Amino acid sequence: MDSEHTEHIDTIVIGAGQAGLSVGYHLQRRGVPFVILDAATRVGDVWRQRWDSLRLFTPAKFGGLDGLRFPSPPNHFPAKDEFADYLEAYASHFALPLRLGVRVDRVSRHGDGFLVVAGRRRFVASNVVIAMANYQIPRVPAFAAELAPGIRQLHSFDYRRPDQLQPGGVLVVGAGNSGGEIALEAARNGHPTWLAGRDTGHVPFQIDGLAGRLLLVRLVLRVAFHRVLTVATPIGRRVRPKVLHAGGALVRLKPRDLVRAGVERVGRVTGSRDGQPLDGRQNQHAVGNADAIDGVSVDEIEIEPDIENLSYDLLPKHVVHRLIDAYI
């Protein structure tokens, strides 16, 4: 290795989203030398690039990171651009050491630490925190290649607004929060809409209702999600693979919202016939648009086989494991 082109840093945080910035805040408070790497050229751009109508599933009073309140009325549900701007302001407020426009390609063992490769740049670190989301490279279902060329296909990563859809029916593949909200938006804009995928369940109250604002959101977020369903508990570790693979429970949407809008639930899509998608019951759906939501790739960063257990092996053992689970 060319030592003249290798930078030595105690801790590298990969990802400048809410998880990475939270880690940076706590490392900074404890005097740990670190740097945050992110492929984007601006903090918050991952949020800005999502679909236009997206809002957070939690009110502003729970949307802030440690040390800086979210600058909105407490029961307001921020839009995605509001949250992106907040993340950018958070990084600036605490003067967190960012390296933007740096896309990490590989993480591997290097002596007692790690080697991080980003293009022609090399970093050697004692600790590495993987704090990036895993949906940046969409994984499109295999049946997509069998669909008729006249069907407009979009992944949720590329979807912005209903005017991207051509006239006709819309099949949304993946019935989690993203899929449900996009299906609802398509139906409300006049498209016959099918939502494919297993029922992921739903939060059994209105999160923006009075009871939700005063009590239940706090109970679900601060107790269930942040104390029980975490990688620090046996039940959290047991549930995590299922949530990552199949999606979490619907938070804002309820099944009745989809029914009222005319969204039809169908089973898992298993293939195609004559260029049209088939569900598990061999029902054929004549659509003009197909939105793929289910499934993402985790292959954007190459991780050496002996350090694939990211939940534990790559976390700074003296600081981060206790602190960031509520945000990642």
Q: Do 76 and 90 form a contact (C-beta atoms < 8 A)? A: no
Using CA atoms, how far residue 2 sits from 115, 128, 232, in Å, is: 13, 21, 39
Q: At what angle do helices 80-93 and 18-29 cross, to 10 degrees?
A: 20
Q: How many other CB atoms are found less than 10 A from the CB of residue 179? A: 24
Give the mean pLDDT of 247-258.
Answer: 80
3-state SS, residue 1: coil
How is residue 258 written in tokens? 């989809």
pLDDT band, very low/low/confident/very high, at 316 (cuts 50, 70, 90): very low
pLDDT number for residue 300: 38
Q: What is the pLDDT of residues 121-172, one digit of tens each?
A: 999 999 999 988 666 667 777 788 888 888 888 888 889 999 999 988 898 8
3-state SS, residue 323: helix
Give the mean pLDDT of 306-327.
Answer: 36
DSSP notation for 22-49: HHHHHHHHTT--EEEEESSSSTTHHHHT
3-state SS, residue 86: helix
**pTM tops 0.75:** yes
* Average pLDDT score over the chain: 78
Q: How many other CB atoms are found less than 10 A from the CB of residue 70? A: 22
- State yes or no: pLDDT of 206 exceeds 80: no
Give the mean pLDDT of 64-72.
Answer: 94
pLDDT number for residue 307: 44
- State yes or no: pLDDT of 187 exceeds 70: yes
Task: Name the more confident of 229 and 253.
Answer: 253
The DSSP bridge partners found for residue 292 are: 155, 173
pLDDT number for residue 314: 38
How is residue 226 written in tokens? 């942040």
How is residue 64 written in tokens? 């802030």
Give the mean pLDDT of 276-284.
Answer: 67
For β-strands 113-118 and 121-130, DSSP reports them as antiparallel
Winning range, highest mean pLDDT, from 83-87, 263-267, 310-314: 83-87
pLDDT number for residue 63: 85
Q: What is the pLDDT of residues 78-111, one digit of tens each?
A: 999 999 999 999 999 999 999 999 999 999 988 8
Q: What is the pLDDT of residues 17-45, one digit of tens each?
A: 999 999 999 999 999 999 999 999 999 99
Going by the DSSP 8-state scheme, the letter that residue 226 receives in this structure is I
**Interacting residues of 319 by C-beta distance below 8 A, sequence separation 6+:** 26, 27, 30, 32
Give the mean pLDDT of 210-235.
Answer: 61
All structural domains of the chain, each given as residue ranges with its CATH number in brackets, are 3-136+297-323 (3.50.50.60), 142-202+249-292 (3.50.50.60)
